[in-house]
Structures are given as structure tokens and as C-alpha cells.
Amino acid sequence: MFSIIRPFIFNLDPEMAHDLAIKSLKLNLIPNNIFQIKDEDKLETKVFGQKIRNPIGLAAGFDKSAEVYNSFFKLGFGFVEVGTITPRRQLGNPKPRVFRLEKDKALINRLGFNNHGLDLIIKRISKNPPKEMLGINIGPNSDTKDKSDDFVECLSKIHKFANYLTINISSPNTVGLRDFHEKKSLDFLLNKIFKLKIPKPICLKISPDIDYKDVSQIIELAKKFNINGLIISNTTIENREELKDTKKSEEGGLSGQPLKHVSTKMIKEFYKGTNKKITIIGVGGVDSGESAFEKISAGASAIQLYTGMIFRGPTIARDIKNELISILKRENIKNVSDAVGLNT
Ligand SMILES: Cc1cc2nc3c(=O)[nH]c(=O)nc-3n(C[C@H](O)[C@H](O)[C@H](O)COP(=O)(O)O)c2cc1C
């Protein structure tokens, strides 16, 4: 079905297609349970000590302002991360700012945290309780001087509505944000955050464009502050040389296929370096059971995806679940949690 309508959707500007998708999902027409599948109990697992039906999550950036997360549970996702949410409403960068690289099964975006702002989103979530695990991803406004203040404000106000929270220091589209990967700045930020004593799991979302020195320093701080999770990874500003699509030189973060192996390699590094003690959520180029299994066997307890859904359509969670179950059966693995880190 999606392969029939895909050419029409791909004729639209990517951001317009996205807005149309949000509008359709808001109509709430998806029946309950049609995206659940046989043997799904093989995929039931836990992240941060909380049970999820399956480890396939929607990555941050699709439902930026928390408008349609419950529809994604109906589409068969095991968890959804909304955001990035900033304290104040923000329009983001001038359009066009999202580009489809069809030949590379990739996207480039330079949206710049367009979202409806903290207070309105809090009202929205409080009126529409999430049916399953909801992660809330937060970040700073582009014009805030001390960006750590914005993380503190968001966390203090929104934490009670989340099952877990993600500190996003890795978007390439907010000037200076990635500087938080540097040891001194990250220590300063985490100090402020953990002083708040937020009674919810806290994750750090990481850039794939860091070097090995940064990896070991982040691991050191993750252990120091007892961070609950690492989300690996955000989009990359590198890896353009091999791309085929003419839009490859657009400025912004690259996601999808060209990011797949880069993020998987980084997951392995962090899994080994944290002695398997910190939950890892693997993101980057997941679009099939095979690519989900690669991330899980590299050390991810769960995966998230965004770009894969643009190319495979709204049934992707169900399709990946079926494919993943076949792989588990083929490999004689009883439950998906037994596959975590198998290939490290
Ligand atoms: C259009 C678009 C917008 C995004 N916005 C955000 C965002 O607001 N916050 C964030 O943490 N990640 C954002 N991301 C990054 C994704 O969450 C994910 O980390 C990245 O795209 C890699 O996964 P994928 O290859 O499955 O897309 C965005 C990605 C895309 C394609």
C-alpha cells in the first residue's frame, strides 16, 4: 500500500509531507491492536526497569510538540520520544530545511528545534496521558546565553509527565550545543541537572561526530553522575563523500542509511566502556529487523528510528517486529533481551 502512495508523498516538500502526517494522525483513526503481532511476547523487554511491549521506539524529532504520541503506540511502537522541547516556543530556521536524499535512503535536516514551547506542551500532555512509555527530549532555545539554564527549566517543569528524559546535547542545528560534549562543559551541565534530584531516568543523547577521547570522557562522567541511559546517536554532519544524491551538500544533520554503521560502531564503544551497566538506546539508519538486530547485538537494549519510516512507511514498526522475531527464531534466542551485546 505505502509503495503505491509513496511517489505522491515524495512529490511533496518533505516538511509539508510531515505536517500532513501529523494532521492525519491527529484524526486518531487507527484502530487499536491491528499493529500487534503474533509472538510479540518474544520482544517484551525492560528499559530503565520499566516494561515495554517491544524495543522499537520512535526517535525524537517527528512528534516535536507532543501532538500524536498515542497514535504511534497504535502503530505498534513500544515507546515514543517527543521533542526536542525548548522553554519558549521557537520557529526554527528558514525553510526549506528538510531534504530527502532518495538515492541514499537518507534525510538532511536543519530544522533548529521548531516546537510549541514548554508550557503549552505540558498542558497538552497532561490532557492526553500517554498509553505506553513516553520519553521527553529537551533542549535550549537558540538565543539563550547559558544553555544549561534551559535544561534545568525544562527538567524541573516537565519531568513528572515523562517515563524518562533525554538531555539533547547533540543536535548540529543549534549553535554551541555540541560543545557540551567537552569534558568541563558536560561536567558543569550534569552537575546542575543532577542537583535537581529528578526522580526519573535521565539519558544523554550523543553526537556520532565525536572522537575516542570524547567517548572515554563521556563514559567517565556518565559513571560519575549515574546517568541512566545513553541515546546513540543523533544525526551526523560528516560522511557526505560517498553520497549519490545531489542534495548531499545541504547544510544540516544527516540521518538514515549513511549513519547506520557509524552509530552502531559507537554503540559498541560505549557498551564496552560502560561495562554494560548503562542502558543504551541505539538510533541511526534502522529500517529493518536485520538493522535493529545489529544495533541490539552491538549493545543497545532498545532502538529508535525516524528516517526509516519516511522510506518504509507507517507500518515499519510492525514489519520490523515480524522480521526481528524471525531473526530471534533463526538464532535460537528466546527473548530480545538475550540478544543485547551478543556481538561485542
Ligand atoms: C527531520 C528530523 C528532525 C529531527 N529532530 C530531532 C530533535 O528535535 N531532537 C533530537 O534529539 N533528534 C532529532 N532528530 C534526530 C533523530 O532523533 C535521530 O537521532 C536521527 O535521525 C537518526 O535516526 P534515523 O537514522 O532513524 O533517522 C531529527 C531527525 C530528523 C530526520
The pLDDT tens digits for 281-311 are: 999 999 999 999 999 999 999 999 999 999 9
pLDDT at 277: 87
Cα-Cα-Cα-Cα torsion 233, 238, 240, 241, nearest 10 degrees, comes to -130
Which of 312, 292, 316 shows the shortest CA–CA distance to 302? 292
Assess whether the C-beta atom of 288 lies below 6 angstroms from ligand 1: no
Mutate to test the pocket of ligand 1, among 306, 311, 312, 320 (most ligand atoms within 8 A of CB): 306
d(CA 191, ligand 1 centre) in Å: 26
Mean pLDDT computed over 44-62: 97
pLDDT at 276: 84
Mean pLDDT computed over 30-53: 90
The pLDDT tens digits for 67-119 are: 999 999 999 999 999 999 999 999 999 999 999 999 999 999 999 999 999 99
Does residue 2 or residue 9 have the better pLDDT? 9
Whether 244 has a pLDDT exceeding 90, the answer reads yes
Mean pLDDT computed over 132-154: 97
Share of the chain above pLDDT 90, in %: 92
Whether 3 has a pLDDT exceeding 90, the answer reads no
Give the domain extent around 326: 2-339
For the packed helices 212-224 and 260-273, what is the interaxial angle rounded to 10 degrees? 50
Residue type at position 171: S
Catalytic residue selected from 148, 171, 255, 297 = 171
> Domain for residue 344, yes or no?
no
Mean pLDDT computed over 314-341: 97
Pair type for strands 106-109 and 98-101 = antiparallel
> Domain for residue 300, yes or no?
yes
> Domain for residue 157, yes or no?
yes
By the 10 Å C-beta count (0-12 exposed, 13-18 middle, 19+ buried), 72 is classed as: buried
How far is it, in rounded angstroms, from Cα 196 to Cα 181? 21
> Domain for residue 195, yes or no?
yes
Domain total for the chain?
A: 1
pLDDT at 140: 98
Assess whether the C-beta atom of 284 lies below 6 angstroms from ligand 1: yes
Average pLDDT, the chain: 96
Kindly report the CATH number assigned to the domain that includes residue 281.
Answer: 3.20.20.70
Task: Band the pLDDT of 189: cuts 50, 70, 90.
Answer: very high
d(CA 85, ligand 1 centre) in Å: 13
CA–centroid distance for 186 within its chain: 20
